[in-house]
Structure 1
């Protein structure tokens, strides 16, 4: 009689097998790509072995996913991210007096920084937490002799900020944003400075100082408007992203007229600029539509209809960054919950989790909404309880 599979439903082996199949890889292909034995891959997928961190990382890299995608729970993933924070702090603390060491050629560093941007957009925080301390240290070291590395350092600081902000290290996030601003001064690129202003809004979100956040964004928008002769897609993409964020910030500040003005301008630019990544931020018609949901939720109960209509008829295409797609479903879940659509709200949260598990698990609204759903459902479903356990709420 064949032995029963030891792998629990949704275990690492099942996930490895499922993702491998979607990549159209055989077990032998995966073994070669990950540089592990074929017997190890077989045992993992059968559930008779559990992967250690090194093997898990190698398989995740071969499959092109963050290690968290292969885990049933996230406590291990969380601990690994939190464990890397001291290394990141050290890299930041010593940035004025970096250690001596080698600096790779510019093309290699461009590839490394580009990967960090991609992982940030895909919410792959474990990967980022591993590579950023050394990458930032190397770029700081290189910036002592050439300002050509400054833009790469800004994007690396931004990737580090994504980890710090999502995992609750708000002091580290604020420090990273300051370093982004200081470093961007080394480069005479107003669009780079504007992209930093976009990220800086996190500080105002964290402290609920939306009025100040709106003023900061509008100052940056006014500064960019002096460059009206610039008709490049990069310029319009960056300007559009500022209007997009200003609409949400103004809505949260209760300044409805300003919010509507910025929303209209974002929609106008979104109709001109194709969907893409402009100085590290996604912008285009699909991004604007996602922010229309965020905008409606920020305005509150009386303005939810547009968000609900979008959620009923549209979903972000898979070509968009995972963080933005998961953010859409997190915002939609809140709109549906406020509208009394509990089951639909939970469906949206499940979609967010499938797209970007780390982003979803660390999002404050997800925890709040699941707690609300647990209170509202006297007899909560097993799936809802399991979701709450995954969040660490029980």
Structure 2
């Protein structure tokens, strides 16, 4: 794993030299010192914040995955998800051609039932399984849109957009930038053809995520606000799906603001999202199916508040928020979100100087969502930091003991 850190540094150095950029120039662009850049390029500094990794990649005009070597090398069996990803990409690439589908596609109500399986897999952070399900479902949904009319056709496009969202989430988690970009584009295309008033905002929510890869923090906030305005009327009326989207977009804006250095705005956005979560708990109508799969909840707001604090390097505040958060709120979250949460806590404890607690949190994260955590650059960075620190401590202990034993005498 320590060799991985050195390779990231070498990739950064090669990218910098290709641009004819000096270490001092890169340091100025990043708001760092030339010494920091030198250490980073030698693998002595971890890129332990997504915002920092994305900013570095943006300044070097490469994709963040190109710096960190994602998708990561693994066994042939673990790489089989790329076969499914290629099939999904082919389906999305031919989106405006007549679908190749034998037989008669099922009606929209049955295809919506198929998406409930995707919800369960997403909650379990089973991203590989999601990709394996999607090619056939995308093909059938597109076939339904081709032969249906009226509301049935609009619902087919809505299902297609939601399937694109699942592909987008899984591709992000596994590190497939081509599928990420295509899924986002196709979600926006199909959302516009659905009659769902909230779905275009959900597609924008996806696009905000993609803007993070190029460190376009202010554009990400502007797009979040555009999407928020599009569902504002529904939010004001208390429509549950609009409230979920509105709150989720505020959390997107909060992360964007934190990474862009807008501390006050980041905190305000979290507060806005908390207000939306409170409105959800006050809802007294019939159960609402979260067809957009936004997973917005009071617990989700809390773990985003912790993420925001960490993006602003306020690990003490992040740990304080966690202490004030009821364990029941966290336990009610899906595995995908709980895995992220414990990964964040591992980072917070590491920065706070407690490697033992950091490792325990990282172990919890891996146990809850192994696919997610093993493929996440921040989890890998955190583990590398722990390993390096443990080795350094052991070396120092051995040196002192060697001195006491006069082994060099």
The TM-score bracket by the shorter chain reads 0.7 to 0.9
CA, structure 1 residues 310+75, in 2 after alignment: closer, same or farther (shift >3 Å)? farther
Structure 1 residue runs of 5 or longer lacking an equivalent are 1-73, 382-394
- Counterpart check, 1:175 vs 2:188: no
What is the aligned partner in structure 2 of residue 48 from structure 1? none
Residue 352 of structure 1: how far off its partner (Å): 0.7
What is the aligned partner in structure 2 of residue 83 from structure 1? 83
What is the aligned partner in structure 1 of residue 315 from structure 2? 304
CA, structure 1 residues 250+77, in 2 after alignment: closer, same or farther (shift >3 Å)? farther
What is the aligned partner in structure 1 of residue 342 from structure 2? 329
What is the aligned partner in structure 2 of residue 271 from structure 1? 278
Paired residues of 1:91 and 1:134 also in contact (CA < 8 A): no
Residue 77 of structure 1: how far off its partner (Å): 5.0
Paired residues of 1:374 and 1:380 also in contact (CA < 8 A): no
Secondary structure class of the residue paired with 1:195: helix
Residue 294 of structure 1: how far off its partner (Å): 0.7
Instruction: Give, in whole Å, the separation in 1 of the partners of 2:144 and 2:255.
Output: 38
What is the aligned partner in structure 2 of residue 99 from structure 1? 100
Residue 312 of structure 1: how far off its partner (Å): 4.1
Cα offsets for 1:262-285 (capped at 9, x unmatched)? 111112222221399572111121
* Bigger Cα displacement from structure 2, 159-168 vs 74-83: 74-83
Instruction: Give, in whole Å, the separation in 2 of the partners of 1:208 and 1:319.
Output: 32
Q: Which has the higher contact order (CA 8 A, sep 6+)?
A: 2
Alignment map for 1:189-228 (pairs within 5 Å)? 189-227=196-234
Paired residues of 2:204 and 2:223 also in contact (CA < 8 A): yes
Instruction: Give, in whole Å, the separation in 2 of the partners of 1:278 and 1:293.
Output: 27
Instruction: Give, in whole Å, the separation in 1 of the partners of 2:393 and 2:167.
Output: 37
Residue 85 of structure 1: how far off its partner (Å): 2.0
TM (norm. structure 1) is: 0.73
Alignment map for 1:221-260 (pairs within 5 Å)? 221-227=228-234, 229-260=236-267
Q: CA RMSD for the aligned pairs?
A: 2.3
Instruction: Give, in whole Å, the separation in 1 of the partners of 2:281 and 2:365.
Output: 24
Number of residue-to-residue matches in the alignment: 307
What is the aligned partner in structure 1 of residue 59 from structure 2? none
Residue 229 of structure 1: how far off its partner (Å): 4.4
Q: 2:144 aligns with which of 142, 149, 155?
A: 142
What is the aligned partner in structure 2 of residue 112 from structure 1? 114
Deviating beyond 6 angstroms after TM superposition, the runs of 4 or more aligned structure 1 residues are none
Instruction: Give, in whole Å, the separation in 2 of the partners of 1:76 and 1:379.
Output: 34
Instruction: Give, in whole Å, the separation in 2 of the partners of 1:377 and 1:204.
Output: 36
What is the aligned partner in structure 2 of residue 294 from structure 1? 307
TM (norm. structure 2) is: 0.70
Structure 2 residue runs of 5 or longer lacking an equivalent are 1-73, 148-152, 283-288, 395-409
Paired residues of 1:237 and 1:278 also in contact (CA < 8 A): no
Paired residues of 1:297 and 1:335 also in contact (CA < 8 A): yes
CA, structure 1 residues 91+317, in 2 after alignment: closer, same or farther (shift >3 Å)? same
Instruction: Give, in whole Å, the separation in 2 of the partners of 1:214 and 1:298.
Output: 16
Instruction: Give, in whole Å, the separation in 2 of the partners of 1:306 and 1:96.
Output: 49
Cα offsets for 1:121-172 (capped at 9, x unmatched)? 3211222122111111111111113222111111111111122211211122
Residue 234 of structure 1: how far off its partner (Å): 2.1
